[in-house]
A = this chain, B = another copy of it.
Amino acid sequence: MNTRRQFIQKSVLGISVATLPGLSSGWTEPVDMHPEARASESFNLGIAGYSFLHFDLDASLAMMKRMDVHYLSIKDFHLPLDSTPEAITAFHQKLKAFDVTGYAVGPIYMTKSRTEIDAGFEYARRVGVKLIIGVPNKEDLEYISEKTKAYDIRYAIHNHGPEDKLYPNAKSVYDLIRNLDNRMGLCFDMGHDTRDGQDPVADLERYHSRIFDIHFKNVTAATRDGKTCELGRGVIDIPAFVAMLRKIKYTGQCSLEFEKDMKDPLPGLAESVGFYHGVVAALPRS
Measuring CB to CB, which residues of chain A are less than 8 angstroms from any residue of chain B?
32-34, 37-38, 66-68, 220, 229-235, 238-239, 242, 266-268, 270-284
Chain B positions within 8 Å of A220 at CB level = 33-34
This chain's copy number in the assembly: 2
Q: Is the CB of A234 within 8 A of B34?
A: yes
What are the residues of chain B within 8 A of A242 when measuring CB–CB? 282
**Which residue of the partner chain B has the closest CB to A36?**
B235
The answer on a CB contact under 8 Å between A271 and B232 is: no
User: Are B233 and A33 in contact, CB atoms less than 8 angstroms apart?
Assistant: yes
B residues less than 8 Å from A232 (CB atoms): 37-38, 274, 277-278, 281
* Sample (25) of A-B pairs whose CB atoms are under 8 Å apart: A34-B220, A34-B229, A34-B235, A37-B232, A37-B233, A67-B267, A68-B233, A231-B278, A238-B281, A238-B282, A270-B271, A270-B274, A271-B271, A271-B274, A273-B274, A274-B274, A274-B275, A274-B277, A274-B278, A275-B275, A275-B277, A279-B281, A279-B282, A282-B282, A283-B283
CA distance A271 to B37 in the complex (A): 15
CB closest residue in chain B, given A236: B37
CB distance from A116 to the nearest CB of B (A): 37
Partner of A274, one of B32, B66, B272: B272
Task: Judge whether B270 and A32 touch: CB under 8 Å.
Answer: no
Residues in B with CB closer than 8 Å to A276 are 274, 278
Min CB gap A105→B, angstroms: 27
Specify which chain B residues have a CB less than 8 angstroms from the CB of A268 in the assembled complex.
270
Q: Residues of B contacting A66 with CB < 8 Å?
A: 267
Q: Is the CB of A282 within 8 A of B278?
A: yes
